[in-house]
């Protein structure tokens, strides 16, 4: 995949398929260790130990439509290519947490991509699911977005209403720019 936001969309789709009612995404930078950390946590069905051990293999999937699942293996490959790694914790019936670590300064790190468009798309297609996005720079600057908060304010207007989704995308885009500014230069284009 050409950027991290596309990996995020794929992993979020896994959470949705696993029956998640809430998906939390944390994106943080740690300058001291030159790391970009992407964490996706859900309250879906989780994985048993056997599936967890083989989930990073492209020949492992729970789908019945085809025998190959490339989302997690490709995300892991992208992280490792930059000098990072991917970690997964899961408890059957409780959910899954996946964390990818990228080396910020690596020439092989793929760009962050359009996080706002990714969230706009998943919110539009899944208005019944609650999504959270937290952005942090060096444990300081922080931006938080929650569909639960938006839903509480817009009342009977559907969250997947075009104007609401457009506002959400602008809000998230501004949050990304304010939080990461010069750390991840490619996100400002």
Query: Is the predicted pLDDT of residue 184 greater than 80, yes or no?
Result: no
In a domain, 99, yes or no: yes
CATH assignment at residue 69: 3.30.565.10
pLDDT at 131 exceeding the cut of 50: yes
Identify whether the C-beta of residue 41 lies closer than 8 Å to the C-beta of residue 22: no
Q: Residue 40 domain-assigned?
A: yes
Note the pLDDT of residue 57. 59
Domain count, the chain: 1
Residue 187 included in any domain:
no
Q: Is residue 135 assigned to a domain?
A: yes
Does any domain span residue 158?
yes
Among the listed residues 152, 147, 183, the one whose alpha carbon sits nearest the alpha carbon of residue 167 = 147
Region 97-126: mean pLDDT is 96
Sheet holding 95-103, edge to edge: 85-91, 95-103, 35-42, 22-30, 130-137, 142-146
pLDDT tens per residue across span 24-61: 999 999 999 999 999 999 999 998 888 777 776 555 54
Question: Has residue 166 been placed in a domain?
Answer: yes
Residue 142 lies in a domain: yes
In a domain, 186, yes or no: no
Domain range for 169 is 4-179
């Amino acid at each position: 995949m050409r950027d991290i936001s596309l990996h995020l969309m794929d992993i979020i789709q896994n959470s949705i398929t696993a029956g998640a009612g809430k998906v939390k995404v944390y994106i943080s930078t740690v300058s001291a260790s030159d790391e970009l950390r992407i964490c996706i946590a859900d309250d879906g069905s989780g994985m048993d130990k056997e599936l967890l051990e083989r989930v990073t293999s492209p020949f492992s999937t729970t789908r019945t439509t085809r025998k190959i699942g490339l989302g997690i293996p490709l995300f892991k490959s992208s992280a490792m290519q930059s000098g990072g790694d991917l970690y997964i914790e899961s408890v059957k019936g409780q959910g899954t947490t996946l964390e990818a670590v990228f080396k910020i300064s690596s020439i092989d790190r793929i760009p962050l991509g359009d996080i706002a468009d990714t969230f706009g798309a998943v919110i539009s297609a899944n208005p019944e699911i609650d999504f959270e996005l937290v952005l942090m720079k060096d444990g300081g600057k922080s931006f938080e977005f929650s569909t639960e908060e938006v839903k509480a304010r817009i009342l009977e207007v559907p969250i997947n209403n075009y104007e609401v989704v457009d506002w959400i995308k602008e809000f998230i885009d501004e949050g990304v720019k304010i939080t990461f500014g010069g750390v991840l230069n490619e996100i400002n284009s």
